Amino acid sequence: MIEARPAKKEENPMRRIRVEKVVVNSCIGASPQRLERAAKIIEMLTGQKPELRKAKKTIKGFGIYKGQPIAVRVTLRKERAIEFLRKALQAVNNTLKASSFDDQGNFSFGIREHLDIPGTKYDPELGIIGMDVCVHLSRPGLRVSLRRRGRRSIPKSHRITREEAMEFMRSEFGVRIVEE
């Protein structure tokens, strides 16, 4: 009798890497008018209403005080996350630095002007903002480490490495990764 061979790592559905979430953050500073305009721009780009983030400590040199709103942030998941990520990667010419990836398979990059994202037009009333894009990659089964009841740690063999994340971005999104 012939035994079935074990599936390769790529064939196992629990080994597939996916985009868990994309966080778009723009730190504006003390000006409430600029913060309001940045919130409108991010909502226009992502299709989701951003939340205000407050300062954690006072920095008098910048005119920032603890508890004062200074940034806007939005978290995208599923299809919205992938759709926005494709546009954001086009803004940086589908190129990422190898140093942008961490050891857990997450990566971040910045966009200098939101006008670099394809399909956006300049509105003189809103101005121009820059933003940070943080991407969290995961495999099915991550919930085991995050749930409240019956929580367990994820084995090292199931975690995403830096190299796996880079290869995923190359194959799925056509990203070119450059070494500094």
> How large is the average pLDDT for residues 86-105?
91
Higher-pLDDT residue of 63 and 26 is 26
Note whether 152 and 34 are within 8 A (CB).
no
Q: What is the largest CA-CA distance in the chain?
A: 77
Pull the structure tokens for residue 157.
Answer: 């063999």
Strands 107-111 and 131-138: antiparallel
The answer to whether residues 9 and 66 touch, using CB atoms and an 8 Å cutoff, is no
pLDDT at 19: 92
Domain coordinates in residue numbering, the chain: 15-178
Lookup: tokens for 131? 């933003």
Look-up of token digits 């009841």: 149
Task: Work out the average pLDDT over 31-36.
Answer: 86
| pLDDT of 5 | 57
> Coil, strand, or helix at residue 147?
coil
101-113 tens-digit pLDDT: 999 889 999 999 8
CA distance 165 to 60: 40
- Model confidence band, residue 95 (pLDDT cutoffs 50, 70, 90): very high
As beta bridge partners, residue 19 has: 137
For residues 49-63, give the mean pLDDT.
88
Task: Quote the mean pLDDT of the chain.
Answer: 87
pLDDT value, residue 163: 92
**What's the whole-number mean pLDDT along residues 53-61?**
88
Q: Does domain 15-178 have CATH number 3.30.1440.10?
A: yes
pLDDT over 60 (residue 8): no
State the average pLDDT over residues 33-54. Answer: 90
CB 35 within 8 A of CB 70: yes
Please give the DSSP secondary-structure letter assigned to residue 142. Answer: T
Q: What is the pLDDT of residues 112-159, one digit of tens each?
A: 988 888 888 888 888 888 899 999 999 998 888 888 999 999 888 889
With cut-offs at 50, 70 and 90, classify the pLDDT of residue 12.
confident
